[in-house]
Structure 1
Amino acid sequence: MKLYGGIEAGGTKFVCAVGTGPGDIQAEVRFPTTQPAETIQQAIDFFQAQIAKRGPLAAIGVASFGPLDPHPDSPTFGHITTTPKPGWANADLVGPIQQTFNVPIGFDTDVNGAALSEGKWGAAQSLDTFLYFTIGTGIGGGALVNGRLLHGLLHPEMGHITLPHDWEADPYPGHCPYHGDCFEGMAAGPAIEERWQTKGQDLPPNHPAWELEAHYIALAMRSFICTLSPQRIILGGGVMAQPQLFSLVRQKTLAALNGYVQSPAILDNIETYIVPPGLGNQAGVLGAFALGMMAEADH
């Protein structure tokens, strides 16, 4: 079995792993995301130690926070671009790894990586057009469309669409430093905490926060269902760990669509249409493996 390296590069922490796929992660390490040179070197040190112990890696995949440049023919391929994270704007994430290991490197957003792994091994197997969202510290969306990751100009930024905002019902101005009351600005973890002065995980299941949260998620889902016509939507991230949220989001998405999309998948089977990740909290690091596998196949 070929051995792959994976980096789930988050704004708060990096997770590095080696393995062959689900059920065979042979080694894993987590460390805080500090400055680029220090953090990338820690990842390199981990892989060098694993290669010495287990043998060579066939490829390495990097599933990263963004915005980033995922186009291999671009001069800034492998770079983080306009992130507000101090020290990381225009940082070259892939270059030092490529120079050290000289193996194929797959590089994409963390959510595109997670979408890829959910299609390969998780809740979207056998589908060719579906969406994966993480709703946590931020909100991001990854898309597989006709069997390929969606890129285009750069990559999707699904957390930054505009949602209808009833200022009377919800006077909160939004958390996003760029757009205020976009999807991420209204529904990510920091927005819940700012609005209610308590972390979401500490709010009871019957708190009005969850009705409002489901309302905003459902409005976003309506837009994406009408735009990309996904065969399934997977909702991951820390905010979605609230068990009561899925049924609320499903009900409100049906109400928001109001019968317009005439598909049994939505009208009769909404509980298998909007679902949690099949890979749980491993979707990210397995997404990095999947990106590495794809880079090796394209090499």
Structure 2
Amino acid sequence: MLGAIEAGGTKFVCAIGTSDLEIIARESFPTTTPAETLLLVIEFFKKYEAELESIGIGSFGPIDIHRASKTYGYITSTPKLAWQNFDFVGTMKQNFDLPIAWTTDVNAACFGEYVAGNGKGLASVVYYTIGTGIGGGALQEGKFVEGFSHPEMGHMLVRNHPADDFAGSCPFHSHCLEGMAAGPAIEERLGKKGQALDHDDPFWEIEAEYIAQCAYNTTLMLSPDVIIFGGGVMKQHHLMTNVHRAFERLMNQYVEVPELIKYIVTPALEDNAGTIGCLALAREAKLHS
């Protein structure tokens, strides 16, 4: 059996699955403090300890991904104060002497789509989650695109839509993608959540503009085979039509891209992308241990 931990800023999703990436059991816990949340996580996996071979963790960040670092496996400078400089992998290792894969939550979702979703069989896959925050992950030939750290693509700068004078809700950058297009930015602007808006609300054209700018920037920087947009905001299924239209206008035929209904898409695995990605990473960790 393989273990998966999708560690989000709002909730942790823990799962047990097979090497074929079939989810056998799953539970979720609210993200409170490390002591409270990890106690529940450890209790969950202890029930399967005799069969458990490895664990994959996809965590909210920023996180330290460099194995040679003294703080490898830590959540580092997160705005969630209780979690700053928390030794996540070390805590799990104290309780489970197993191979543990460690990456960002959005990288995990990207890997899930790469092995079993809309990125399967493709060389280059980019995944964004647009929800409470915005994060991005990229894979090239099965390897995560990263350098001194993991990408923070959700904070790329975007230009205001002509009908939008909002400066953004991000405390670090004005006019960044997360600050302009994440769920809290919608609510701060309009006084209500995105799911409360009608499908034909004019705001969705504004939202689509920012997502299309993200796809435009990603296309010109990475030329991926597919760009996948997941997260709660993208559950507004009508939104993708507006994104495609805005992307075509922005690109203005500068480069030829794949057919948009296959190029800019939502996750085939839907809400399971992160969990399946963590299971797949656990499988990799077991193979290379």
CA distance in 2, matches of 1:132, 1:253: 17
- Aligned residue for 2:131? 136
> Displacement, 1:21?
5.6
Please name the residue that 1:102 is paired with.
Answer: 97
| Correspondence 1:86 to 2:81 | yes
Distance in 2 between residues matched to 1:5 and 1:200, nearest whole Å: 33
1:66 lines up with 2:61 in the alignment? yes
Q: Distance in 2 between matches of 1:65 and 1:287?
A: 14
Aligned-partner Cα distance in 1 for 2:250–2:148 = 30
Matches within 5 A, 1:148-297: 148-165=143-160, 169-263=163-257, 265=258, 269-297=259-287
RMSD: 1.3
Deviation at 1:283, TM superposition (A): 0.5
Residue 30 of structure 1 is aligned with which of 11, 28, 31? 28
Match of 2:8 among 2, 7, 10: 10
SS in 2 for 1:140: strand
Look up the SS of the partner of 1:39 in the other structure: helix
Q: Is the 8 A contact 2:112 2:277 kept in 1?
A: yes
Corresponding residue of 1:43: 41
- CA–CA distance in structure 1, aligned partners of residues 241 and 276 of structure 2: 27
Return the letter of the residue paired with 1:91: F
**Separation (CA, whole Å) in 1 of partners of 2:149 and 2:4:** 22
The 8 Å contact of residues 159 and 175 in structure 2, kept in 1 or not, is answered as: no
State whether residues 126 and 226 of structure 2, in contact with CA within 8 Å, keep that contact through their aligned partners in structure 1: yes
For 1:227 and 1:195, the matched residues in 2 are separated by 30
Contact 1:108 1:291 in 2 (8 A): no
- % identity of equivalent residues: 48
Q: Distance in 2 between matches of 1:26 and 1:232?
A: 29
SS in 2 for 1:5: strand
> 8 Å contact 2:133–2:182 — kept in the other structure?
yes
After the TM superposition, which segments of 4 or more aligned residues of structure 1 sit over 3 Å from their partners?
none
CA–CA distance in 2 between the matches of 1:169 and 1:122?
A: 36
Q: Which 5+ residue runs of structure 2 have no aligned equivalent?
A: none
- The 2-side partners of 1:22 and 1:132 are apart by 22
- The alpha carbon displacement at 1:22 in A equals 6.7
| Contact 1:5/1:17, CA 8 A, preserved across alignment | yes
Answer whether contact 1:106 1:295 (CA < 8 A) is retained.
yes
Does structure 1 conserve the Cα–Cα contact (< 8 Å) formed by 2:106 and 2:136? yes
Query: TM-score scaled by structure 2?
Result: 0.97
Residue 128 of structure 1, CA deviation: 1.4
Matched residue of 1:87: which SS?
helix
Q: Matches of 1:117 and 1:154 in 2, distance apart?
A: 21
- Which letter maps to 1:279? L
Deviations 1:39-67 (CA, angstroms, capped at 9, x unpaired): 1121111100122xxx3211101111011
Distance 1:291 1:89 in 2: 24
Change (3 A) 1:92 1:12: same
1:81 is aligned with what amino acid?
Answer: T
Separation (CA, whole Å) in 2 of partners of 1:113 and 1:34: 22
Q: What is the CA-CA distance between 1:93 and the residue it aligns to?
A: 0.8
SS for the counterpart of 2:83 is coil
SS at match of 2:12: strand
Residue 23 of structure 1: CA displacement?
A: 6.8
Partner-residue secondary structure (3-state), 2:4? strand
Mapped partners of 2:20, 2:106: distance in 1:
17
**Contact 1:22–1:286 (CA under 8 A) maintained in structure 2:** no
Letter in 2 for 1:85: K
* Contact preservation (8 Å) 1:22, 1:121: no
1:212 aligned partner, one-letter code: I
Unaligned runs of 5+ in 1: none
What is the TM-score normalised by the length of structure 1?
0.94
SS in 1 for 2:57: strand
